[in-house]
Amino acid sequence: MRRTAVALAVVLLACGGRPEVVEPAVEVMDAGDRPEPEPVAYEEGRATVEEVVRALIQGLQQQDRDLVMSLFPPAGVVKEAFVCPGGNILEEAMGEAVEDIDDGMAEMAEGNVWMEFVEIVPRLGKTETYMVGQEVEDGCTAGMEITVREVMVTVNVTEGGTTEQDTDEIVTILIDGKWYLVGPD
C-alpha cells in the first residue's frame, strides 16, 4: 500500500511514521458497497477535537476541499489570536498544511482509499494554554486565551483489499470556545 494512501492528506502527509498491517475489523468492501458518510456542515470551528478529526476524514474521503478548509480558523480569528512581529506563526503552520490538500486528495482518489476513524488520544504534556499577552513562540504573543493540543489520531486505511492502521500526530487549537485544525506536529 502506498504511504500516501495513509496520509490524512492535509495533516498526516508530513508526519512520517510507519503504518502497521492489521486485519480489517470488518470484511473489506468494494467502493460501491461502502456506506455513505453522514453530511457535515461547513461550520466555523467545532465543539471537540474529535469532531475536527472526523470532519477531516470525511472531507478527504468525499474529496470535499471546502469541508477540509472549513476546519482551519478564519483569517480574522488567526489575526486576533496571535500578535506577531512580521509573519503570523499560525498562518505559516496552516499554509504548510493547506499546500498538501489537493495533492493528498488526488492521491487518495487515484488509489481508491477508504479511511475509518479508530481513536484520538491527547498526547500527555502536549496541551498548552496561553493567556492574553503571554509569549507563544518566536516573539508572537497570544491576543486572546488559546489552547494548543497535539493529538494522536489512529485510522484504519483500506486500499486494494489491504487494511493498515496508522497513528500520526496533528495539532488543533481552541480559540474562543471552538476547536480548529492547525496541521501536522
Task: Tell me which amino acid residue 162 is.
Answer: T
In a domain, 119, yes or no: yes
In a domain, 159, yes or no: yes
In a domain, 66, yes or no: yes
CA-CA distance, 106 to 117, in Å (whole number)? 20
In a domain, 150, yes or no: yes
User: Model's pTM, two decimal places?
Assistant: 0.74
Range of the domain at 99: 3-15+45-177
Number of domains in the chain: 1
SS3 120: strand
Sequential pLDDT tens for the chain (185 residues): 333 223 333 333 333 332 333 343 434 445 555 556 555 557 788 999 999 999 988 888 888 888 888 898 888 888 888 888 877 766 776 766 766 777 777 788 888 888 888 998 767 668 999 999 999 887 889 999 999 999 999 999 988 889 999 988 888 999 999 999 887 66
The set of long-range contacts for 88-91, using a CB threshold of 8 Å and a minimum separation of 24, is 88/140, 89/136, 89/137, 89/138, 89/140, 90/173, 90/182
In a domain, 100, yes or no: yes
pLDDT for residue 65 = 84
Taking CA atoms, 37 is separated from 61, 100, 127, 179, in Å, by 9, 23, 30, 22
